Chain A
C-alpha cells in the first residue's frame, strides 16, 4: 500500500471524513474501512496486545467520530490526523501500563503463590519486523533505530537515550535529524518549516 500518497484513496478518505463530520454514519463506516488496517496495525505494533489494541482502536474511532469536524486540512492529510490520534492514545496506554506493571508484578508476587508469568516482558521485544519500508531505508541505521524506538516502541527520548547508552542530548539530536530527514525524503510534505540545529 502506498501510504496516503495515493491520490484517489486520499480523496476517498477525505470525503469519508467530511461526511463523518456532518454526522453521516455511512460515511463513517467507509472511513473505518479505508483506514482501519493502517490504524489498527499501528496500535497493535505499539501495544503488542490485540485485546488492548482493539480497546484503543475503538476509543480512537469514537474520538474521530466526535471530533471529525475539528480536522484541518492545512495540518496534514486525514490519514496523518487519524494516525496521530491513534499513536498518542496507544503510547499513553503503554506508559500507563508500564508504570503499573512493576507494581502489578509485585502485587502478584505478594498475593499469589504461583509465579507471575512475565507478560510485562513482551513490551521489551525490540525492533522486530523492520521490514524494508520505503523512505525509512534512506535514513542512517542510527536514525532509523531512534525513530523506531520512539515511535513504534513508544519510548520517551529519555528512555531511548538509556536504551542506547547515549547522552540525552545526542538522542534528541538524532531523533530530530532523523525525523527531518524522513520528511525530506518523503518529498515536500508541508512547505518545509525552518530547519533548526
Chain B
C-alpha cells in the first residue's frame, strides 16, 4: 500500500513507541533512530506516555512467580563467577522431553532452548554424517527455487522447491543438534491424513545443514514439520513439532 518506500522516516515514531511496527518496519525505524536525536527524544517522551495505557490493569501475580523470579536471580548470582562454579545440568536427565512437550502443549516455546542446551552438552562425539556433494545445493541454487521459511528461537529453517529440478531441499541455520539417542525427523504434512517422513536431519556441527527432501512436492503437502524422535526416526511423529514451515505462503 502506500509508503512502502519511506516517505518520512519520522512518521513511525509513535507506532514505534507503542511497539506497533512489524519486524521489518521496526528494523528500518531503528536504523533511522540511531542518527535522529529528535526522534530519540520523542520516543522517550512517548514511551513515558504509554505507561498511562496500562494504568488500572494491575493484576497481582501468583506467589509462585515471585518465588521463581527471585530463585532465578539468586541462581544467576551463584553462577556469575564463571562456568564450573556450578555443576553441569543434571547429567542423569539428558533431555526432559515430557516437560518439554508439556511446555509446548501450553503453547509455550520454552523447550527449544532446553533442547539446545542439552544438545550442546551431550552432542559431543556423536556421529557426524555429512551429505555427499550436496545435491541439496542444486535445488537451493536453482534459478526457479521457491523458498518457504520459519524461525524458531534463533534457528532458521528454509524449505526450497525447484520445479525445474523437481526436487525439494531444506536448509537449517543455527539448528541445535538432537541430543544423543534422538534424531530430528522431517515430515511432509498434506491435506489427507498421516505425515510422511522425509528423512532425518543429518548430524553435523556445521552451523548450516542442507538436505534433500525426497518426494516432497508443494502440490501434495502444505506443511513441513520437524520433530524430535528416538534415534533412527519413527513411523509417525511422536512429539510435538518444534518447527513448522508453511508451504502455502
Q: Which residues of A contact B (CB under 8 A)?
A: 1, 3-4, 23, 25, 28-29, 32-33, 36-38, 40-42, 44-45, 49, 51-52, 54-55, 57-58, 61-62, 65-66, 74-77, 79-80, 83-84, 87-88, 91, 95-97, 100, 102-104, 106-107, 110-111, 119, 129, 131, 133-136, 147-148, 150-152, 154-158, 160, 167-169, 172, 175-176, 178-180, 182-183, 186, 189-190, 192-194, 196-197
Q: Give CA–CA (A49, B222) in the complex, Å.
A: 29
Mind listing 14 A-B residue pairs with CB under 8 Å?
A37-B59, A37-B60, A41-B59, A54-B61, A75-B47, A87-B19, A87-B54, A107-B241, A110-B193, A136-B52, A156-B21, A157-B12, A182-B52, A182-B53
Contact between A110 and B49 (Cβ–Cβ < 8 Å)? no
Q: Per a CB cutoff under 8 Å, which of A84, A88, A111 touches B195?
A: A111
Contact with A along B57-69 (1 / 0, CB 8 A): 1111110111011
Contact between A37 and B58 (Cβ–Cβ < 8 Å)? yes
Of the candidate stretches B73-81, B85-93, B170-178, the one touching chain A is: B73-81
Of the candidate stretches B37-45, B116-124, B161-169, the one touching chain A is: B37-45
Contact between B56 and A133 (Cβ–Cβ < 8 Å)? yes
Contact between B50 and A197 (Cβ–Cβ < 8 Å)? no
CB distance from A87 to the nearest CB of B (A): 6
Determine the residue in chain A with the shortest Cβ distance to B37: A193
Interface of A is mostly: helix
CB distance from A157 to the nearest CB of B (A): 4
Q: Given A154-B19, A160-B20, verify A183-B46 contact (CB < 8 Å).
A: yes
B87-125 residues with Cβ-Cβ distance < 8 A to A are: 106-110
Note all chain B residues with C-beta closer than 8 A to A135.
Answer: 52
Known: A65-B76, A154-B19. 10 other contacts (CB 8 A): A28-B73, A41-B54, A44-B59, A77-B48, A104-B244, A106-B189, A110-B223, A151-B54, A172-B15, A189-B45
Chain B, interface residues (CB within 8 Å), range? 35 or more
Q: Give CA–CA (A100, B109) in the complex, Å.
A: 11
Q: Give CA–CA (A138, B46) in the complex, Å.
A: 17
Determine the residue in chain A with the shortest Cβ distance to B20: A150
Note all chain A residues with C-beta closer than 8 A to B194.
Answer: 111
Determine the residue in chain A with the shortest Cβ distance to B25: A156
Q: B3 on the interface (CB 8 Å rule)?
A: yes
Note all chain B residues with C-beta closer than 8 A to A152.
Answer: 53-54
Q: B51 on the interface (CB 8 Å rule)?
A: yes
Q: Give CA–CA (A33, B22) in the complex, Å.
A: 33
Contact between A49 and B190 (Cβ–Cβ < 8 Å)? no
